[in-house]
Amino acid sequence: MERWSGKVAVVTGASSGIGLATAKALVQHGMTVIGLARRVDKMENEMKAVKGAGKFFAKSCDITKEADVIQAFEWIEKNCQTVHLLVNNAGTMKCATIEEVKTEDMVNIINVNIMGLLHCTRQALHLMKKNGHEAHIININSLAGHKIYDLDESVNVYPATKFAVRAISETLANELKGKSNKIRVTNLSPGAVRTEIFEVSQLKPETIANFLYLEPEDVVSMILYAISVPPHVQINELTINARGAFYEKKA
């Protein structure tokens, strides 16, 4: 991690869960971290006690709004010059069948999980390419982006958005291939992680009880691993799960 000390990281969804844990770890490793989320006060309060050589800046940003993202990255360029690491972490889901899900909920899931990721990736790429340095984009995906699990409840388009993120990651890696390009892309897919997303999703307690959980810090350890390998190494895909995790519906 020494080569990342003093470098600039952008973490989306940094007010809780994986995003917050990632921001804390990167600051502890000496990086300048810009957290993008709507809950600025929560980010600032959560990060107050973090000790490390790095710095943290909380920026209000709704990643579903392209104008918000552009404004945030304009601030980043003005104050930090560039971005070395982008962690596309923000995500959401809502429990309902495809037939019954409200249109506004479905659109929000698509906008957060796909369009928000694309908005941030495009802006980060502009700065990464402009400055020509080593850089890394990590897309926090889900095992639901690899397989449709047979749960007792439906989360409608959530798996579809995560399959899309995996396709976007692979497409981006293909676009950035070549020895002259210093930007790497990693698609990181964890199983169930103990975060606020299950509260937001409104899954039934008995459904949630079937999961064996990873902690946000488990995912962070994989992020640190992915960015710590030698620059010539490309980790395209990482999947992690809690040991013995059960995802299929019980017979």
Q: From the candidates 158, 213, 225, 247, give the one annotated as an active-site residue.
A: 158
Q: What CA–CA distance (Å, rounded) separates 174 from 177?
A: 5
DSSP, residue by residue, the chain: -GGGTT-EEEEESTTSHHHHHHHHHHHHTT-EEEEEES-HHHHHHHHTT--SSSEEEEEE--TTSHHHHHHHHHHHHHHH---SEEEE-------B-TTTS-HHHHHHHHIIIIIIHHHHHHHHHHHHHHHT--EEEEEE--GGGT-----SS-BTTHHHHHHHHHHHHHHHHHHT-STT--EEEEEEEES-BSSTHHHHHT--HHHHTT--PBPHHHHHHHHHHHHHS-TT----EEEE--TT---SPP-
Q: Which residue has the tokens 């950035």?
A: 176
> Do residues 160 and 107 make contact, with C-beta atoms less than 8 angstroms apart?
no
Active site residue 247: no
Show which residues are catalytic: 158
